[in-house]
């Protein structure tokens, strides 16, 4: 997984080089996919799916992913991930569907599924198979650089798409979030600074994810998460991303006021994922609440 030079264009020129490299590869894949099926055709299929889902529905309500994170205590988004640029292969054996089933049975509010193929060894079919089987919503964890990826996420069964503020300019953030909303999906805006929090909120973010991992050094700083939590006003859900290793971390994030936490590597490496998830969920409950 060698890292190359930064890709050019857009907001990612100021982003860490690894993020730029991943985004550049995502653009190349999107260009190749465009030849096989133009985005306009993909859009029409995604909109038709959304219209079928809305047919006969009652009054508008928040998308399922947003509703799933708004429960009592701190909700958990459990990640299905085979590898990462910083840690290499995390799971040599990767029964992704079995892992996702275990998360749902163990009490996860939602799942996050890596579909990025080069740095995280994900595949689109992992998401489509998981979304077809589970009743809890799924986040497509990928690096969105163009609108066709939002349409893809819908057609793969995702309930939410990730928008990384370091990769996208203000117009793209608004446009991509608008497309997600039109398709009945949530947008999870990922931030790493107060300035990015402001940009996300200007773009209409309803779910803001604070990435506590510095993509330049890969160090995790929960103090940064706690500080940035203060930049997210009431009315928007706050999600802590990256670096959760223990129930104590979950308790710390709950006390800091987060609504949800995304847990990936520590769950994937746990010898008994179901038991570890139970320990995390116990720590996620409000003080004095019965488990």
- Considering the candidates 21, 66, 79, 116, report the single residue annotated as catalytic: 79
- Considering the candidates 81, 84, 252, 265, report the single residue annotated as catalytic: 81
65-93 burial, b at 16+ Cβ within 10 Å, e below that, comes to bbebbeeebbbbbbbbbbbbbeeeebbee
- Considering the candidates 21, 66, 196, 241, report the single residue annotated as catalytic: 241
- Considering the candidates 186, 242, 252, 265, report the single residue annotated as catalytic: 242
- Considering the candidates 66, 112, 116, 141, report the single residue annotated as catalytic: 141
Is 141 assigned a catalytic role? yes
Q: Are 2 and 25 in contact (CB under 8 A)?
A: no
Is 112 assigned a catalytic role? no
Is 196 assigned a catalytic role? no
What distance in Å separates the CA atoms of residue 37 and residue 27, rounded to the nearest whole number?
Answer: 15
Q: Are 192 and 211 in contact (CB under 8 A)?
A: yes
Is 225 assigned a catalytic role? no
Long-range contacts of 243-249 (CB under 8 A, 24+ apart): 243/212, 243/213, 244/280, 247/279, 247/280, 247/282, 247/283, 248/283, 249/222
What distance in Å separates the CA atoms of residue 30 and residue 20, rounded to the nearest whole number?
Answer: 15
Phi-psi region of 29 (alpha: psi -120 to 50; beta: other; left: phi over 0): alpha
Is 211 assigned a catalytic role? yes
What distance in Å separates the CA atoms of residue 179 and residue 83, rounded to the nearest whole number?
Answer: 29
Q: Are 41 and 87 in contact (CB under 8 A)?
A: no
Angle formed by the axes of helices 170-182 and 194-202, to 10°?
A: 50
Q: Please list the helix, strand and coil fractions of the chain in percent, rounded to the nearest 5, in that order.
A: 45, 15, 40
- Considering the candidates 172, 190, 252, 265, report the single residue annotated as catalytic: 190
Nearest to 11 by CA among 3, 178, 19, 175: 19
Is 241 assigned a catalytic role? yes
What distance in Å separates the CA atoms of residue 291 and residue 64, rounded to the nearest whole number?
Answer: 24
- Considering the candidates 75, 112, 186, 211, report the single residue annotated as catalytic: 211
Residue numbers annotated as active site? 79, 81, 141, 190, 211, 241-242
């Amino acid at each position: 997984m060698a890292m190359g030079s930064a890709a050019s264009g857009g907001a990612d020129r100021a982003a860490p080089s690894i993020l730029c490299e991943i985004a550049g590869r995502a653009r190349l894949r999107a260009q190749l996919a465009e030849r096989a099926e133009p985005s306009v055709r993909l859009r029409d299929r995604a909109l038709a799916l959304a219209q079928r889902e809305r047919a006969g529905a009652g009054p508008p309500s928040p998308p399922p992913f947003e509703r799933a994170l708004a429960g009592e205590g701190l909700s958990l988004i459990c990640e299905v991930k085979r590898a990462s640029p910083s840690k290499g292969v995390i799971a040599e054996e990767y029964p992704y569907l079995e892992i996702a089933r275990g998360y749902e049975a163990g009490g996860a509010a939602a799942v996050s599924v890596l579909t990025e193929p080069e740095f995280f060894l994900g595949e689109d079919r992992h998401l489509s198979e998981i979304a077809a089987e589970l009743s809890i919503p799924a986040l497509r964890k990928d690096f969105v650089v163009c609108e066709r990826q939002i349409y893809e996420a819908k057609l793969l069964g995702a309930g939410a798409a990730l928008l990384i503020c370091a990769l996208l300019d203000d117009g793209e953030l608004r446009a991509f979030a608008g497309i997600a909303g039109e398709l009945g999906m949530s947008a999870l805006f990922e931030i790493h600074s107060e300035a990015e929090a402001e940009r996300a909120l200007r773009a209409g973010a309803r779910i803001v994810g604070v990435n506590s991992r510095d993509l330049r050094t890969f160090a995790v700083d929960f103090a940064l998460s706690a500080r940035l939590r203060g930049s997210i006003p009431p009315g928007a859900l706050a999600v802590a991303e990256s670096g959760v290793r223990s129930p104590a971390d979950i308790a710390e994030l709950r006390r800091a006021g987060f609504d949800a936490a995304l847990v990936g590597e520590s769950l994937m490496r746990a010898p008994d994922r179901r038991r570890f998830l139970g320990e995390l969920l116990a720590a996620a409950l409000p003080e004095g609440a019965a488990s």
